[in-house]
Structure 1
Amino acid sequence: MGKPTGFMEYDRKLSKGLAPLERIKNFNEFHIPLSKEEQKIQGARCMDCGVPFCQSGVILNGMTSGCPLNNLVPEWNDLLYNGNMNQALKRLFKTNNFPEFTGRVCPAPCEPACTCNVATSPVSIKENELSIIENGYKSGFVTPQPPKVRTGKKVAVIGSGPSGLAAADQLNKRGHQVTVFERSDRIGGLLMYGIPNMKLEKDIIERRVEIMKEEGVTFITGADVGKNYKASDIKKEFDSVILACGASNPRDIKAPGREAKGIYFAVDFLKGVTKSLLDSDFNDNACVNTKGKNVVVIGGGDTGNDCVGTSIRQGAKSVLQIEMMPKPLENRTEDNPWPEWPKVLKTDYGQEEAIAVFGHDPRVYESTVKEFIADKDGNLTKVKIVKLCSKYNAEAKRFVMEEVPGSEYVVEADYVFIAAGFLGTEEYIAKAFNVELNARTNVATKEGNYQTSTEKVFVTGDMHRGQSLVVWAIREGREVAQEVDEHLMGYSNL
């Protein structure tokens, strides 16, 4: 623990973000970290709670509670408070390969599960974690550690998102020779192209990848396995293969007029913007530009919010975000008790910026798109929206969202970005390795295992469990590495 009475003596304090109207001027990260002394005080707030729910990583009522990585939160909070930063980093690396990623983009299910929530506000676990790893880089604690002995075994990892990188990192440390195949031109998967720069600047990813290269991991970009690389050749060359390609099949909106020009999947929009930023600082004009345009975002989650923040930075004329579900309450209800994930209203950075720019929250709830309307040239001009209400469906034996008759209205729209989630594995990669899919179109395995239906081919991350959190991806990457290691060596010390 930190200081026994710290949670009573000190208030929760977070890093300051630049004001919305200031930070939308560029695509840079915008949080200013606390000083080292201020962060130590935040470590002191970690109480001797006896049962640290923060590190439990369990599913309660269908939602994650606590850290799926089982991070040793009380231990490194105590070490942070006492100024033992090197030891804090070592404890952090025991469970988390990439705290510089999770400390920026994880939604931090550890914090709602913190016992301090019972009487006060939670420990700032996420920012404490980030301070430990960034101090580690600054102080020279984070250096390449290539394995001293090689096993002679070769492993291919297909996909370089957080799960694939975690698996590669673990197996390389074990002494196996690991090659990571990535179809994009840069390493990182959704970390690189699915998360905007203002949440995760890409030199943070490149910094980690360079260390992994120095440790002996081989990275091949532009390798679209199943298309320009044959899966059969990879299976012949490598002793084991790990599929870590994500749940990259986006859910579509099948409304009339869907063929109109100006409708994009959110992940394609975000990738184009980030790639143009990295390639030329937008000088190549290679991405969708919403400057002076009316934007409609379909989806109320993190990706939808990223589309809002990105559109505002480009100078959109208006931004509307459509959410099917009712507006959440501002406080927990009795049927959503601690330490469950709180189903409460969250106003994220993009919505904050929309409020600052346009004077109102961009979100409309209990709504969906009924029709996309185009001009004679096929260009999107308007979107017809209909209100929804929750009704009990006796046949389905559950509540469903149904249209409210006569509630349709039309809004101007030059661009629509669909951020309605993902359906599962892309078909061509599954066919390339001849792996079976389950009913949710994720790659099928036995419960608690990562071996696919194809010999020596394993699966991990979103491709295995469906769209999920970065911490679940890293956990699965670590677990599949252990299973592959046992497959190759007959035992594992990972």
Structure 2
Amino acid sequence: MGKPTGFLEFERKSNVGTSPLERIKNYKEFHTPLPESERRQQASRCMDCGVPFCQNGKPIMGMVSGCPLNNLVPEWNDLLYTNEYEAAAHRLLMTNNFPEFTSRVCPALCEAACTCGLNGNPVSVKENENFIIEFAYNSGLMQPNPPKVRTDKNIAIIGSGPSGLACADQLNKRGHNVTVFEKDDRIGGLLMYGIPNMKLEKQFIDRRVNLMKEEGVKFETNANIGEDVKASKLLNKFDAIVLCCGAGNPRDIKAEGRDANGIYFAVDFLKATTKSLLDSNLQDGNYVSAKDKNVVIIGGGDTGNDCVGTSIRQGCKSVVQLEMMPKLPDSRAENNPWPEWPRVCKTDYGQEEAIAVFGHDPRIYQTTVKEFVKDENGNLKGVKTVMVQFVTDKETGRRVMQEVEGSEKYLDAELVLIAAGFLGPKKYIADAFGVETNQRSNVATEQGKYSTNVEKVFTAGDMHRGQSLVVWAIREGRDAAAEVDEYLMGYTALK
């Protein structure tokens, strides 16, 4: 432990963010890293506590506490403080294939479980992680390291999101021949088209993919397996196949007027914006524009927040974000003690920007859309909303949602974005390979396993566990790779 009193001497200090009114002028990342000396001070706050919950990654009361990847947080924090950056990068990369992604988009389960957070502010683990991995790239430590010996096993990974990339990276390091198939025109899946550029600039994905290519991983884009390419072709050619196609089936809103023009799923809205940004800096016009429109976003999660930030950058006239659940408390409730995940209200970057531009929080709680209102040409012109409350059903004992009588309101809206979550993978993929699905429409496996009912076909990521975090997708990809390796070789050295 580098500085036993670090957590007493130094307060938490985070990277400075560009002001909301300034950063909405572009789609770039907007945090400026602290100077190196201050970053080392922040690392010195890590207590090296006896039970480091930050790297635990286990569920407590139904919510995961700590990092699902079991990152060696106290170790690389200490190495960062003591100026041993190369060793810190080595320890970081032992458990996490892509720190450059998680240090940008992860909600930092590690920080929520930090012991310093019990009576103060947690260690800035996420930003420390970002400093380490960016140092590794900028100093030339991240060089191609292809395996010295290759096996004769050929593996197909279907999907290039975080789970597919992690699985491919692990299996390639083992010496297998790995080909990643991606249905879109760019590699990255959720990372590329599901997360806006201001949260994860796409050159960081390309940087990692290029490194993987130099290490021997093959990538094929515009390859929609199950539609453009028959599954039987891959089953005949490859020794193992891993389905990592994500949870791409968005949950819809069934309300009167749903067929109105101007209603889109959030994933399609975000993807079109990012693709146009990358293709032409938005000059081609091939995206859904919120400019001068009243925007209503259905869904209060991270995707909904991304839609708020994107709509503001496009120049929307107004933006409202509807959330069915009640507002969470601003601080931990007594029944939500540390080290449980804190169920508290957070104001994310998109909401901060809406407050700066329009003068108020865009979120309206315990509310949903009851009707989409169309004009005479079938175009959306507004929505009728209603407040909802959750009550206990006397017969089943389950909590059910019911409308609050007399709470209907009307909102002007020329654009509605549905960000209500996902219901599992696209059905055609599972059907193409003949794999079974469970009640949640995810690909079915035994508990704790990744092999499906079809010989040599495995699955991982959101397609397996349902909509989740990037860090969980990487965990799944790593674990699936170990199971595939054992299936092919009779044993595995992958962890």
With normalisation by structure 2, the TM-score equals: 0.99
Q: 1:399 Cα deviation (Å)?
A: 2.5
CA distance in 2, matches of 1:122, 1:201: 26
For residue 43 of structure 1, what is the aligned residue in structure 2?
Answer: 43
CA distance in 1, matches of 2:400, 2:120: 36
For residue 6 of structure 2, what is the aligned residue in structure 1?
Answer: 6
Q: 1:390 Cα deviation (Å)?
A: 2.3
Is residue 420 of structure 1 aligned with residue 420 of structure 2?
A: yes
Q: 1:63 Cα deviation (Å)?
A: 1.5
For residue 219 of structure 1, what is the aligned residue in structure 2?
Answer: 219
The alignment partner of 2:170 has SS state of helix
For residue 388 of structure 2, what is the aligned residue in structure 1?
Answer: 388
For residue 107 of structure 2, what is the aligned residue in structure 1?
Answer: 107
Q: Partner letter of residue 33 of structure 2? A: P
Provide, for residues 301-341 of structure 1, a one-character-per-residue CA deviation record: whole Å limited to 9, x for no partner.
00000000000000000000000000111111111010011
The answer to whether the 8 A contact 1:2-1:74 is kept is: no
For residue 359 of structure 2, what is the aligned residue in structure 1?
Answer: 359
Q: 1:211 Cα deviation (Å)?
A: 0.2
For residue 398 of structure 1, what is the aligned residue in structure 2?
Answer: 398
Q: 1:60 Cα deviation (Å)?
A: 1.6
Q: Partner letter of residue 366 of structure 2? A: E
The answer to whether the 8 A contact 1:2-1:43 is kept is: no
CA distance in 1, matches of 2:481, 2:337: 35
CA distance in 2, matches of 1:200, 1:342: 24
The answer to whether the 8 A contact 1:2-1:47 is kept is: no
For residue 170 of structure 2, what is the aligned residue in structure 1?
Answer: 170
Is residue 466 of structure 1 aligned with residue 471 of structure 2?
A: no
Provide, for residues 141-171 of structure 1, a one-character-per-residue CA deviation record: whole Å limited to 9, x for no partner.
1111001000010000000000000000000
CA distance in 2, matches of 1:352, 1:290: 18
Q: Partner letter of residue 189 of structure 1? A: G
CA distance in 2, matches of 1:173, 1:37: 35
For residue 149 of structure 1, what is the aligned residue in structure 2?
Answer: 149
Q: Partner letter of residue 268 of structure 1? A: D
For residue 452 of structure 1, what is the aligned residue in structure 2?
Answer: 452
Provide, for residues 197-221 of structure 1, a one-character-per-residue CA deviation record: whole Å limited to 9, x for no partner.
0000000000000000000000000
CA distance in 1, matches of 2:172, 2:383: 50
Q: 1:8 Cα deviation (Å)?
A: 0.4
Q: Partner letter of residue 396 of structure 1? A: T
Q: Partner letter of residue 146 of structure 1? A: P
User: How does 1:258-407 map onto structure 2 within 5 Å?
Assistant: 258-407=258-407
User: How does 1:80-159 map onto structure 2 within 5 Å?
Assistant: 80-159=80-159
CA distance in 2, matches of 1:46, 1:3: 8
Residue correspondences, number: 494
Q: 1:111 Cα deviation (Å)?
A: 0.5
The alignment partner of 1:179 has SS state of strand
For residue 179 of structure 2, what is the aligned residue in structure 1?
Answer: 179
Q: Partner letter of residue 280 of structure 2? A: S
Q: Partner letter of residue 238 of structure 1? A: F
CA distance in 1, matches of 2:219, 2:80: 34
Q: 1:398 Cα deviation (Å)?
A: 2.7
CA distance in 1, matches of 2:405, 2:244: 44
Provide, for residues 65-89 of structure 1, a one-character-per-residue CA deviation record: whole Å limited to 9, x for no partner.
1000000000000000000000000
The alignment partner of 1:422 has SS state of coil
CA distance in 1, matches of 2:18, 2:394: 50
CA distance in 2, matches of 1:268, 1:48: 44
Q: 1:388 Cα deviation (Å)?
A: 1.1
CA distance in 1, matches of 2:384, 2:300: 18
CA distance in 2, matches of 1:21, 1:81: 35
Q: 1:391 Cα deviation (Å)?
A: 1.5
Q: Which runs of no fewer than 5 residues in structure 2 stay unpaired?
A: none
The alignment partner of 1:389 has SS state of strand
Q: Partner letter of residue 233 of structure 1? A: K
CA distance in 1, matches of 2:2, 2:361: 39
Q: Partner letter of residue 113 of structure 1? A: A
Is residue 25 of structure 1 aligned with residue 22 of structure 2?
A: no
CA distance in 2, matches of 1:410, 1:217: 53
Deviation >4 Å, runs of 4+:
none
Provide, for residues 403-451 of structure 1, a one-character-per-residue CA deviation record: whole Å limited to 9, x for no partner.
0011101000000000000000211000000000001100000011000
Q: Partner letter of residue 476 of structure 2? A: E
Q: Partner letter of residue 163 of structure 2? A: S
Q: 1:94 Cα deviation (Å)?
A: 0.5
Is residue 52 of structure 1 aligned with residue 52 of structure 2?
A: yes
The answer to whether the 8 A contact 1:298-1:418 is kept is: yes
Q: Partner letter of residue 71 of structure 2? A: N
For residue 34 of structure 2, what is the aligned residue in structure 1?
Answer: 34
CA distance in 2, matches of 1:162, 1:422: 17
Q: 1:376 Cα deviation (Å)?
A: 1.1
CA distance in 1, matches of 2:404, 2:276: 41
For residue 435 of structure 2, what is the aligned residue in structure 1?
Answer: 435
Q: 1:389 Cα deviation (Å)?
A: 1.7
Q: Partner letter of residue 268 of structure 2? A: D
Q: Partner letter of residue 402 of structure 2? A: E
For residue 490 of structure 1, what is the aligned residue in structure 2?
Answer: 490
Q: 1:395 Cα deviation (Å)?
A: 2.4
The alignment partner of 2:180 has SS state of strand
Provide, for residues 99-123 of structure 1, a one-character-per-residue CA deviation record: whole Å limited to 9, x for no partner.
0000000001110100011221100
Q: 1:258 Cα deviation (Å)?
A: 0.4
The alignment partner of 2:111 has SS state of coil
Provide, for residues 116-146 of structure 1, a one-character-per-residue CA deviation record: whole Å limited to 9, x for no partner.
1122110000000000000000111111100
The answer to whether the 8 A contact 1:67-1:109 is kept is: yes
CA distance in 2, matches of 1:31, 1:2: 27
Q: Partner letter of residue 364 of structure 2? A: V
Q: Partner letter of residue 387 of structure 2? A: K
The alignment partner of 1:347 has SS state of coil
Q: Which runs of no fewer than 5 residues in structure 1 stay unpaired?
A: none
CA distance in 1, matches of 2:53, 2:386: 42
CA distance in 2, matches of 1:289, 1:424: 27
The answer to whether the 8 A contact 1:295-1:316 is kept is: yes
The alignment partner of 1:88 has SS state of helix
For residue 229 of structure 1, what is the aligned residue in structure 2?
Answer: 229
Q: Partner letter of residue 34 of structure 1? A: L
Percent of aligned positions that are identical: 67
CA distance in 2, matches of 1:246, 1:425: 6
Q: 1:2 Cα deviation (Å)?
A: 3.9
Q: 1:59 Cα deviation (Å)?
A: 1.3
For residue 68 of structure 2, what is the aligned residue in structure 1?
Answer: 68
The answer to whether the 8 A contact 1:294-1:415 is kept is: yes
The alignment partner of 1:395 has SS state of coil
The answer to whether the 8 A contact 1:2-1:45 is kept is: no
